[in-house]
Amino acid sequence: MWLRIASYLIRHRLPTVVALFAVTVFMGLQIPDLKMQYKYGGILPEDDPSELAHARFLESFGAEGNVLVIGVEDPRLRTAEGLQSWHELAEEIRALRVTVDGKPTVIIDSVFAITNAFEVVKHPTDRQFLLQAVAPDVVNRLPNAPPLTDERANEIVDEVRSLPFYDGLLYNPDNEATLMMVVFNHDMLNSAKRGRIVEDIIEVSDRWAKNTGIETHLSGLPFIRISITNKVKGELGYFIGAAIAVTALLLFLFFRNLAVVGVCLTVVAVGVVWSLGTMSLLDYRLTLLMSLIPPLMIVIGVPNCIYLVNKYQAEFKRHGNKMLALQRMVTKVGNATLLTNATTALGFATFIFTHSPVLVEFGVVSSLNIMVAFGISIILIPALFTWLPEPHERHLTHLDRVWVDTVVGTFVRTVQTGRGRVYLAALAVAVLSAWGMTKMVTTGNIVDDLPEEDRVLVDLDWLESRFRGVMPFEVLIDGQKPGQILSPANLKRIEEFQELLREYPEFSRSLSAVDAVKFGVQAFYGGDPERYRLPTRQERSFMGPYFRGSENAASDIDDANAVTSNFVDSSRTVTRVSANMADVGTLEMEELMASLRPRIDSIFPPERFDLTVTGTSIVFLEGTNYLVKNLAISMTLAILVIALVMALLFKSARMVGIALIPNLLPLLFTAGIMGWTGIPIKPSTILVFSVAFGISVDDTIHFLAKYRQELRTNGWNIRAAVLAAVRETGVSMMYTSIVLFFGFLMFALSEFDGTRSLGVLVSVTLLVAMFANLMLLPSLLMSFAQFVTTRTFSEPFIDLLDEEDDLSLEELQVQVGTSPGKGEEKHEDLRNRS
């Protein structure tokens, strides 16, 4: 079959290449439509209980995590100039618009700061509570109004800080810290129509800070996720460029031929375009995880080039016939390269079975494009080399490099005489790694991948130290009886629950319908802060008309709704308690929830109340745990699938068992490193094992394929076959391992800690895998030769390396000249040389 494929690819290279580039142009045209992912989520399956609970919350109450906060801590806000400037900043942010379909569109629902604060007042005549601005002279300033004085500014600040309702929301009673809350339209914020609104707010805030000399601190999920998304966009281009630069340098050092470098870079560049185009066509969003695919295609695609080019140059050096060398390159290496790409793709494809949307998308795109990368290389490399000049002698010197022979010779001698040392070293690695595995931990924070000096973390630390955190934490309380959730008894329970949350330093001040009721009681008694409490049984009888009259009272203060509304569903069966919390790790979160849950159940008996804890913090925790639970499943599946493929290739279950050992040892080594160095299992590092296993098994397949061929060549002399296989495959394995090592190592330059860890761990794993495949696997084959190398092994289900049969040059019908005469002349010359 591969003879016919080689014939077709060489004879019809021009239309094939034109067709490939036409489709590549089409894929490239899809890239501008590639969308970014601007919201958290996508880790849990849609039918997961935690995901369903979060969806239920959003359906009932509309939004969470749509507030950006700006914090300051400066006494100058008590001056007329400082307070007026703070208010003008809020108004400038409120006035920001995005352009949608050519029209300015509002995306900010409200902006709430000290100057927008309101108090509740009693209207005796109408028997209802009304909302009244604390600083109407600032908010609704008339043109001829007297200027704001320092005394009045200080009075406004003191009045707001005297209202318990705003304690922990707008101000910190222990210092001068205060917040401005920017509330976004949730749907617009999560759509591509959001424009640069968050970036505009950052720009306006930073300009204000520069002009006033008051330092600002920004946080909240909109700020965090947009900052991370922008870093992902920035790193995508950087990593693609870095991957191309690193591989180009290594290819030049290996082959010392710019033409070879150009061909290989063309192959991987086309692969990058296809990977980005695939994401766009499938309508997948670009996330931190998906942004790894284009550089991965470069790193994984280059070994295809190395195996093919090495074979081409080795064949050309043997007989000096370019066309024959290209034909043998396709027939002898094409099948093996196809199957090694297939095993790598299968390793990535196991993510599809996790049912986690983000991993499923990663598995689909990566596995498809790994196979596409093979197709691109097998089409372009022989075609481009037919149009390039024949390699000169200096271009083939890398095949005889002394250092390569020395290293490969070391491997051969070790396998011959030092198998005991190899086993001892492998055993030591396994024991130490297993010990290290016991120290592995599973954790993760929403922002823990960012460097410590990053503004997101610096400002988040400031917010957590003053206001305990900004990560959404929501509790839904279902009383199961319509109209009864805000009964006096239930209000008492909610208050008790809020007091419980206050005991934990991880939670900020919570907000619920109870706070609105307490605000009303305070207003009934003339705004006395000491009366900020729930009404007694006697008070409910004469305060009831005020609360009932206030339900339908309209307020002329728009921002009030951003703070006081949306606590009860339409049937008055479900209410919510909203809080923010620090970005604690998953381990701390599990301990926290384990401590909270029994105390919550004592307040809200499960037989009477259906209480659901949700919010971004909880969803992230459950998502991390879900990924870890599925790590074992995906790895086991990857091992079984690849073992099945190897069984089909080699028809020997014993051989498959031996072959898996040198591929599992590097994974064990990596797990040990993670345990010893404290690198946790988290969403960003969980890919290490499947990625490394899928790639490292390629070397095993190449080695065993060559070993089987050498068995036939050497008359079933196992010792000679093993040593010959080490010599033959050692060079390509070393080249590809070096490229993969440095290719993945470039991820260590990322700003994201998880990406850095992923790059270093995969690099180390693949380096260990190279030594395992070139020393441990041959040693095992020689020590257990009679046990594993059965006759069925020499009779494969699929041939990886074809015999020495070649197409005749007449069958190739290669027309390399620019005119009939020149083509015939060149054709005759090739025939004579062969």
β-strands 574-581, 471-478: how paired? antiparallel
What is the tens place of the pLDDT at every residue in 289-341?
788 888 888 878 888 888 888 888 888 888 888 888 888 888 877 877 888 88
Q: Which of 180-184, 488-492, 611-615 is predicted with the least confidence, judged by mean pLDDT?
A: 611-615
> pLDDT-based confidence at 789, cuts 50/70/90?
low
pLDDT tens, residue by residue, 429-452? 999 999 998 888 777 777 777 878
The helix (H) or strand (E) run that includes residue 76 is none
In DSSP terms, which residues pair with 568 in a beta bridge? 575
Q: What is the pLDDT of residue 398?
A: 65
Q: Which of 365, 270, 345 is nearest to 34 (CA)?
A: 365
Cα distance between residue 325 and residue 634, in whole Å: 40
Tell me the C-alpha distance between 548 and 120, whole Å. 15
User: Which whole number is the average pLDDT over 725-754?
Assistant: 81
**DSSP category for residue 593:** H
> Which pLDDT does position 823 carry in this prediction?
40
Dmax (CA) for the chain in angstroms is: 113
Residue 441 vs residue 492, higher pLDDT: 492
Q: For residue 79, what pLDDT is reported?
A: 94
The CA distance from 205 to 455, in Å, is: 14
Contact 574, 481 (CB under 8 A): no
- pLDDT confidence tier of residue 395, bands split at 50, 70 and 90: low
What are the CA-CA distances from residue 311 to residues 163, 396, 399 (Å)?
A: 79, 11, 10
Residue 181 confidence (pLDDT): 94
The answer to whether residue 784 scores a pLDDT higher than 50 is: yes
Picking from 67, 299, 347, the residue whose alpha carbon sits closest to that of residue 179 is 67
Which two tokens mark 379?
């089409």
Helix (H, G, I), strand (E, B) or coil at 611: strand
Residue 541 clears pLDDT 60, i.e. is over it: yes
pLDDT of residue 72 exceeding 90, the answer is yes
Report the percent of the chain where pLDDT is more than 70: 88
pLDDT at 550: 58
Q: What does the alpha-carbon distance between residue 610 and residue 48 come to, in Å, rounded to a whole number? A: 17
Question: What's the rounded Cα separation, in Å, for the pair 805 and 581?
Answer: 70
For residue 565, name the pLDDT band (cuts at 50, 70, 90): very low
3-state secondary structure of 575: strand
DSSP string, 710-732: HHHHTTT-HHHHHHHHHHHHHHH
Rounded Cα distance, 828 and 390, in Å: 16
- Secondary structure of residue 586 in the 3-state scheme: helix
- Give the per-residue pLDDT at 100: 76
The CA distance from 395 to 318, in Å, is 14
Residue 206 has pLDDT above 90, yes or no: yes
- Angle CA 749–347–29, to nearest 5: 65
